[in-house]
Amino acid sequence: MGVSEPPHTTILIQADAIAARVMALAAEIAQDYAGRELHLVGVMRGALYFLADLSRALQAEDAGALTFDWIELSSYRGGTESTGNVEVTRDLIDPVDGRHVLVIEDIVDSGHTMTFLVALLQARGAATVEVCALLDKPARRRAPNLQVRYIGFRIEDQFVLGYGMDLDERHRALPYIAVVAAKPE
Ligand code: 5GP
């Protein structure tokens, strides 16, 4: 039995296309980090399934020692756009100093959230910090210096949900990524 779409949405990226892209990203990451121990830092809550699938794909690539941890961030949104006022609402458990950290994020929009997190991880002494985002909305970028090393899909300026991403905390568990017809306030 299929999963029905929430009202006023259409599917943007099907589950099998997500799975194929996750496998390709894992192959690229495994090659880049060969010989180094990789520590994934997932951003709650949107990156839940992306980290779950990517970490297992990395394991299948025999990427070596692999660990992960979670952080939850909140960014005050003035209207639909996030501001630079990002806060840690649930912190990491493990220290990151001396580790090769790859941040796993659902979507980079203005880039404020990732700019804050990369600076935080660098300040805490990570050996290297890179960002892997499932989705990127380049048209919305307000943080020009942010480098996103791995990107699953570049999308237009649209509000998306599913595969971990929410609309008012709902629809995260949809297996595909859908787009809302009209942007919610
Ligand atoms: P930024 O700081 O880059 O502007 O915002 C990034 C965060 O905004 C993402 O982690 C995500 O929580 C949220 N966000 C941005 N665009 C979308 C979207 O289209 N759908 C959902 N569900 N969240 C979004």
Write down the pLDDT at residue 75.
79
Phi then psi dihedrals of residue 149, to 5 deg: -70, -40
Gap from CA of 108 to ligand 1 centroid (Å)? 6
Substitution candidate for ligand 1 out of 107, 108, 166 with most atoms within 8 A of CB: 107
For the beta carbon of residue 124, count every other beta carbon within 10 angstroms.
14
Burial of 121 (0-12, 13-18, 19+ CB in 10 A): buried
Write down the pLDDT at residue 84.
74
pLDDT tens by residue, 56-114: 999 999 777 899 999 999 976 656 666 678 999 999 999 999 999 999 999 999 999 99
Query: pLDDT > 90: what percent of the chain?
Result: 83
Please state, in angstroms and rounded to a whole number, the distance separating the CA atoms of residues 106 and 98. 25
Domain at 58, CATH number: 3.40.50.2020
Residue 137 lies in a domain: yes
Residue 6 lies in a domain: no
Q: Concatenate the DSSP letters of all residues of 151-163 into one string.
A: EEEE--S--EEBT
Gap from CA of 81 to ligand 1 centroid (Å)? 9
Q: How many residues does the chain have?
A: 185
CA distances from 43 to 24, 52, 71, 182 (A): 21, 12, 5, 26
Write down the pLDDT at residue 8.
85
Q: Taking 80 as the threshold, does the pLDDT of residue 159 lie above it?
A: yes
Number of domains in the chain: 1
* Rg for the chain, CA atoms, rounded: 16
For residues 127-145, give the mean pLDDT: 95
Q: Which residues line ligand 1 (CB under 6 A)?
A: 46, 75, 82, 105-113, 159-161, 165-166
Residue 67 lies in a domain: yes
List the domain range (segments joined by +) for residue 69. Answer: 13-178
- Tell me the pLDDT of the chain averaged across its residues: 92
Q: What is the dihedral of CA 18, 19, 23, 26, to 10 degrees?
A: 60
Beta strands in the chain (DSSP E): 9-13, 38-44, 66-78, 81-90, 100-108, 128-136, 150-154, 160-161, 177-180
Residue 116 lies in a domain: yes
Peptide bond into 154 cis (omega under 30): no
Write down the pLDDT at residue 80.
65
For residues 41-69, give the mean pLDDT: 94
Write down the pLDDT at residue 137.
97
